[in-house]
A and B are shown apart, each in its own frame.
Chain A
Amino acid sequence: AQSVTQLGSHVSVSEGALVLLRCNYSSSVPPYLFWYVQYPNQGLQLLLKYTTGATLVKGINGFEAEFKKSETSFHLTKPSAHMSDAAEYFCAVRPPMEYGNKLVFGAGTILRVKS
């Protein structure tokens, strides 16, 4: 079984400050990992994903995440927060295709950006 833990249901940063959203996963096989963003009353938009290869992945809007197998983590970062980054962020995991394709989401982290 797979699971995702997002540390901190709410994170608040100042505009221009570093954004760090934490995600740890549990998986019996090397997983595929994702970050999604959700704005109020909207669906989810894929920010970035890790499947294989380079462990540092870059996504849209200046976000990036690093897969650390030894720490079972996939933290999301952005060097400088912008007001438009305020949203809810979800980390998700799924096994490689041969083990199934069900996405399992974390509970989400609401990011607040202060001016």
Chain B
Amino acid sequence: EAEVAQSPRYKITEKSQAVAFWCDPISGHATLYWYRQILGQGPELLVQFQDESVVDDSQLPKDRFSAERLKGVDSTLKIQPAELGDSAMYLCASSLDHVSSYEQYFGPGTRLTVT
């Protein structure tokens, strides 16, 4: 069964350092989502791509976060510099397209700890 892949699964970094997460969606899925899940809360959408274009990044802290999906396939989310409050689980999800976006398939996530 096709799955969304994410790496690394765990990342510990010091504040002010740069960190990057990678996501490979299910093959053929045009829409890709990055979510942040703070402990004790539900996931919150950070950015949504349709192919290589950003369609929603309203909740992305653009002063330190960036995301790209250059070829419309895999994607990278970067934080620079990391802050203590960035400690969270970062989830990637994909769906066939924005029309069927209710069928979102999630990866295992990257748990980030900032010290």
Contact = CB atoms under 8 A, between A and B. Distances in A.
A42 interface: yes
B98 A43 contact: no
Contacts of B108: 41-43
A9 B111 CA distance: 21
A4 B41 CA distance: 12
B4 A107 contact: no
Interface string A66-109: 00000000000000000000000010101001000111011110
B8 to A, nearest CB: 13
Contacts of A44: 43, 91, 93, 106
Contacts, number: 59
Interface in B41-58: 41-45, 48, 56
B91 A43 contact: yes
Interface in B19-67: 40-45, 48, 56
